[in-house]
Chain A
Amino acid sequence: SQQGEEDPQALSIQEGENATMNCSYKTSINNLQWYRQNSGRGLVHLILIRSNEREKHSGRLRVTLDTSKKSSSLLITASRAADTASYFCAAANQAGTALIFGKGTTLSVSS
């Protein structure tokens, strides 16, 4: 069954604006990861947040995790055209034996 599910499915913003993507999951997790994919390419890891962490930052990225609501959010601040890509959350099961990806959010940033 699908573990991570992103919302919205698609997001269009202007350069300089912030972009927020949400992810919900169903069962207890070991960690939650966010990946980025440019069109037709492989996925690139962005950030990993463990189940005992609530917030993590990496450059212009900010990830939050609320285990009570089984949800996470990815915030990209001051977006750029180069941020245009699909973003996936992936939830690791509690044992850490599997990583289950969602369908992704397609972000378009126009200049």
Chain B
Amino acid sequence: ETGVTQTPRHLVMGMTNKKSLKCEQHLGHNAMYWYKQSAKKPLELMFVYSLEERVENNSVPSRFSPECPNSSHLFLHLHTLQPEDSALYLCASSQERTGGLGTQYFGPGTRLTVL
């Protein structure tokens, strides 16, 4: 266990549904991240929160909406997704407030399937 939990682990949703992914870190870290992992593609950074403030949004479509209510919790709200959004969504956290200076700790991921 890395100290980062994600729920649900698996999610199947239709294109008109609204759902949320939840991430919680028990490490006292200062930064949290959402990544998308699709088959045969590099890990794509979606959002970065540092001390609960969004510091990066990598041109992610507005159908993905992040929320960071406190330093331990991170949500990804999903609505009107497309089948190409099916992927493994990974949450990570780090002690450092910037993404590259130290180790990132990953959760187990949510396997999302959009029908």
Can you list 9 contacts pairing A with B, beta carbon distance less than 8 Å?
Answer: A40-B111, A41-B109, A42-B108, A45-B105, A92-B100, A96-B96, A98-B100, A101-B43, A103-B40
The A interface is mostly helix, strand or loop, or mixed, namely strand
B interface, by DSSP: helix, strand, loop or mixed? Answer: loop
How far apart are the CA atoms of A35 and B6 in the complex, in Å?
19
- Nearest-Cβ distance from residue B38 to partner chain A, whole angstroms: 11
Q: Which residues of B contact A99 (CB under 8 A)?
A: 45, 99-100, 104
Chain B interface size, under 10 / 10 to 19 / 20 to 34 / 35 or more? 20 to 34
Q: Which residues of A contact B (CB under 8 A)?
A: 2, 4, 30-31, 33, 35, 40-45, 48, 88, 92-93, 95-104
A35 CA to B42 CA in the complex, in Å? 13
Instruction: Tell whether B46 is near chain A: CB-to-CB under 8 Å.
Output: no
